[in-house]
Amino acid sequence: MADFDWRATIGAVAPGLANALGGPLAGAAVKIIADKVLGRPDASAQDVEDALSSGTLSGEQIVALRSAEKDFEVEMAKVDQAREAAYIDDTKSARQQTVDLTKSGSGIAFGAPVVSTLIVVGYFFCIYRLFIVQADLPANAFQLLNVMFGALSLAFGQVCNYWLGSSAGSKRSGDAVRKIAEQAQR
C-alpha cells in the first residue's frame, strides 16, 4: 500500500481539504475529515488513511468529504472574521485612547496628531524634493531621500487608516461575513 496517496483521493472530491492537508492547517483538516468520514473527530491521520485505503470512495464517503469541506470553509471564514474583528478592535482602541487622553487633559493627548502631522509633512516634502524640484542632489542624499520616501509612504498609509479607517479591512470583514452566510444557506 506504499503507493496509495489518500490525499489525492480526498483532493478529487474535496480539493480545499486536500490543500489544507499539505499545510499548517493539516491537523484541523484531518480532524474534520475524521469527524465526517469516520464519526470520530479524535481519529489520527493514520486512521483516516486506513479508512480510505481502498482508493475508491463510497457514496457516503464522498458526501461526507464534501460536507467536511464545507464545514472547513465555514470554520476558516470564522477564523478570518475573528482576526479581522481583532484588527478593527485594535484600531478602535487606538482611536479611543486618543479621545480618552484628550478628555483627561493629558499632555500626551496630542502625540498621535503630532506624529501623524510629521509623517504627512515629511511624505509630501519627499514628493516635492524628488518629483517637483529638479535639483541635483549628491548620490547619497538622493538615495537617503528615496529610502525616506519609501518608509514614509508606508507610514502615510497607516496614518490614513488611523484617522479615516481602513476600507480594505472593512471589505475583508464584510467578505468573511458574506461567506459565512452563504455557507450557512447551503
pLDDT band for position 1 (cuts 50, 70, 90) = very low
pTM as predicted: 0.48
What digits encode the pLDDT tens for the residues 38-83? Answer: 788 888 888 887 777 766 667 787 888 888 888 888 888 888 888 8
pLDDT band for position 119 (cuts 50, 70, 90) = very high
Locate 117 and state its grid cell: 502631522
- 13 by Cβ neighbours in 10 Å (0-12 / 13-18 / 19+) ranks as middle
d(CA 125, CA 153): 12
C-alpha to C-alpha distances, 83 to 44, 69, 79, 173, 177, nearest whole angstrom: 28, 21, 6, 9, 12
What digits encode the pLDDT tens for the residues 142-175? Answer: 999 999 999 999 999 999 988 887 655 566 666 6
Angle at 61 between CA 60 and CA 64, to 5 degrees: 85
Mean pLDDT taken over the chain: 81
